[in-house]
Amino acid sequence: MFLITGATGQQGGATIKHLRDHKVRALVRNSNSEASKKLAAQGVELATGDLTNSDSIYDALEGCDGAFLVTTMIPNGPQDEIVQGKAFLEAAKRRNINHIVYTSVDGAERNSGVPHFESKGEVERLIAASGLKHTIVRPVAFMDNFPKRSGIMSFLTLGLFSAAIYDKKVQLISAYDIGRVSATALKDPARYAGRVIPLASEALTVSEMQNAYKEAHGSLAWKAYLPGFTISFLSSDFSKMFYWFRNHGYKADIPSLRQEFPGMLTFSQWLKSKD
């Protein structure tokens, strides 16, 4: 049995999709929500709880061999992630869970100065200090943050990325493949415990992203022309992230990853996919 946190979100939901041949329990805040009911209809066991409540996590972990952890800075900011990580680890140690897979972010280890990278880095350190077997998956920028069809939202999103990174490449990964790799690690702790996996499937410039829309749907996606200082008007956290994209960027070893996890989606393939 595996416990999956964030089960109604992108990463947890994708991990569940890749665990269909295993018993899965989802930690959900509201078992009566439509998203929770959909999971239950798929045969997923539901456990009502909250990532800030260690006792509810402890109850949800009963009988579990492994667990998938994803933290979120909603609603109060990056410090929430540390609170969630501490609560989860307290419960996991009490249950002596065999293996934890945590999805962090590439760059969490590099003193990025990006608040929601730094908070994930702190959770990584807490996990390492816990003594529990673990795998750290460090995704890069999510393909899922882009609309699958060109329109006003792709126009603005591509424009924002162009203002941030100019003609540089940014590494990308789909939530689907994050779930695939996380599930693979959960199912094979003998191979994956102790590993850190920076995860990306492709690196593209904004122009290459525009062409991917054309490849996927037959028409080029236009972008808004925004000056570079536009990103300074975003929230402090996200403006720091975009400046980090521009000046540093992700460093996953894509060729090696494609050898280990063949078939990871390109951006064009993701745009065409229904997942």
User: What share of the chain has pLDDT > 90, as a percent?
Assistant: 91
φ/ψ of residue 193, rounded to 5: -60, 135
The tokens for 134 are: 């673990």
Closest to 22 in 3D by CA, of 66, 59, 70: 66
pLDDT of residue 108: 95
Domain 2-272 coded CATH 3.30.590.20: no
Which DSSP symbol is given to 18? Answer: T
**223, 145 Cβ separation under 8 angstroms:** no
Q: How confident is the model at residue 275 (pLDDT cuts 50, 70, 90)?
A: low
| pTM, rounded to two decimals | 0.95
- CA torsion sign, 120 to 125 to 129 to 133? positive
Write out pLDDT tens, residues 117-165.
999 999 999 999 999 999 999 999 999 999 999 999 999 999 999 999 9
φ/ψ of residue 92, rounded to 5: -65, -35
Query: Which of residues 56 and 233 earns the better pLDDT score?
Result: 56
Q: Which segment of 49-58, 93-102, 215-224 scores lowest on mean pLDDT? A: 215-224
Domain assignments of the chain as residue spans, ordered by start:
2-272
The tokens for 178 are: 């994050």
Query: Does residue 74 carry a pLDDT above 90?
Result: no
Q: Which residues pair with 203 in a beta bridge?
A: 171
Write out pLDDT tens, residues 154-210.
999 999 999 999 999 999 999 999 999 999 999 999 999 999 999 999 999 999 999
Closest to 106 in 3D by CA, of 274, 244, 207: 244
* Cβ within 8 Å of residue 82, ≥6 positions away: 119, 122, 123, 126
